[in-house]
Every structure is written in structure tokens, then in C-alpha cells.
Structure 1
Amino acid sequence: MSVQIIARDGEPEYAVLPWAEYQMLLQAAGREYKPAIAAQEQKKLESLRELKVLRERASLTLEAVAHEAGISPHYLAMIESGEREASDVIKRTLARALNIPGWKDE
């Protein structure tokens, strides 16, 4: 298995592995990959103002999505409320965390 370990402050924080190997691990654990949002509900995110609704619809906590995107829950809350503007990089990581295919410029 080819695993890349990503550390923060000298401590392992993430393990990155090829998608096929991840699928095999899920299968061995008796689980399957389920997107956060059902395929029929997937769409391009029209506005960051939809972010909170999509996160809640996917039953994901602020903390879980923030961790997945590599930002603090407080910063994500400010993005959701419109208090802060997310960079394109953060938009892409949020889209990935919520399993949204892409973002449309506002």
C-alpha cells in the first residue's frame, strides 16, 4: 500500500492513499463510499450563501467540514455568514468536502 503521511507540528495528521486502495479498505471494512450529497441533488454551487444549507443537508458539522478543508470552524462560520470571502483554493476544498462538483463565480 502506498500511503503518504502528512504531519503538522511533527505529528501525523493525515494519511493520503490512492483512491483504489481507499476503496479496497472500505470494502474490507464492510463499508462503501457514499457521497455527502445524493447524486440527484448534486449541482454546482451558485453562491457561498448556499454553503450552510448544503452542509446541513449533508448532515455534516461545521467542525467536520472545516477540518476537511483545513480551516478553523470559526473561519468557516464567517464564510457561511458572508463575513469573510473564501479564496478559490478554499472554495475548491469546501466543494471537495461537500462532494460538490464545482463552483460558479458569483
Structure 2
Amino acid sequence: MDLQIISRDGEPEYAVLPWAQYQALLRAAGVAPSPEPEAATHIQAESEQSSSAADLPSLSQLGALREAKGLAVAQLARTVGISPSYLDLIESGAREPDAAIRRSLAWELGVAGWRGEA
């Protein structure tokens, strides 16, 4: 099963899985599967339109975004699952995080993503 666990403050908060697997779980539980919700389609289309590269922050703004949220380096690093020293290297531009870390940082800081993200 392709399952992603999203944590907040070190505790699991959400479980994300592909729609087909979710539907299979519903069938196995004896619950009638539902069609794809229109709201999810609408939200996805909206986010694709509103998050053009020009609207996204640059990864070089990571430190400022973290400070604006009132988060210490150690706190954000722990939540994302990396060391504070590695977060310092990312903020200074000495290291480029992989896509999973970029997504986690964006999630924790409440941004749609990062400009130039692959």
C-alpha cells in the first residue's frame, strides 16, 4: 500500500493514500465506495491555477518564512524529520533538499511549494 504519514509536532496527523486504494479499503470495510468528490477536483484545479512559479517563494526565503511563523530551527527541523544542522545548511544555501523535504517544509510553513521545484 502506498501510504504517506504526515506528522505535526512529532505525532501522526494524517494518512494519505491513492484514491483507488482508499476505495478498496471502503469496499473491504463494507462501505459503498463514493465517486471522486467534486470539491477535491475543484480544489486541485484552483491550486494548479493559483500556484504559478511566480507566486511561489524561493527556497532562499526559507529562513524568513520560518522566523515569520515563530519557529526555531530545531523545532522546524524536528517536525520535518531532519537535523537542525541540515536545516541550517538548507537555509544558508549550502545544501539543496530533496523533493520530500521540500514538500514537508512547504507544508509546515503553509506555502504551496517552492519556485523551481522539480
- Aligned ranges for residues 37-52 of structure 1 at < 5 Å? 44-45=56-57, 47-52=58-63
CA distance in 2, matches of 1:88, 1:17: 19
Higher relative contact order (CA 8 A, sep 6+): 1
Q: Shift of residue 17 of structure 1?
A: 5.0
Identify if the C-alpha distance between structure 1 residues 83 and 17 changes in structure 2 by more than 3 Å, giving closer, same or farther: closer
Matching residue of 1:15: 12
- Between structure 1 and structure 2, the one with the greater Rg is 2
Matching residue of 1:59: 70
Unaligned runs of at least 5 residues, structure 2: 1-9, 16-54
CA distance in 2, matches of 1:16, 1:72: 21
Provide the TM-score with structure 2 as the length reference: 0.52
Deviations along 1:48-100, one digit per CA (max 9) or x if unpaired, are: 11000111111111011111111001100000001111111110000011111
Cα RMSD for the two superposed structures: 2.4
Identity of aligned residues (%): 41
C-alpha contact 2:66 2:109 (8 A) present in aligned 1: yes
- Aligned ranges for residues 1-106 of structure 1 at < 5 Å? 14-17=11-14, 44-45=56-57, 47-105=58-116
The structure carrying a bigger helix percent of its residues is 2
Unaligned runs of at least 5 residues, structure 1: 1-12, 19-42
Q: Shift of residue 44 of structure 1?
A: 2.1
Provide the TM-score with structure 1 as the length reference: 0.58
Would you say how many aligned residue pairs link Structure 1 and Structure 2? 71
CA distance in 1, matches of 2:69, 2:13: 23
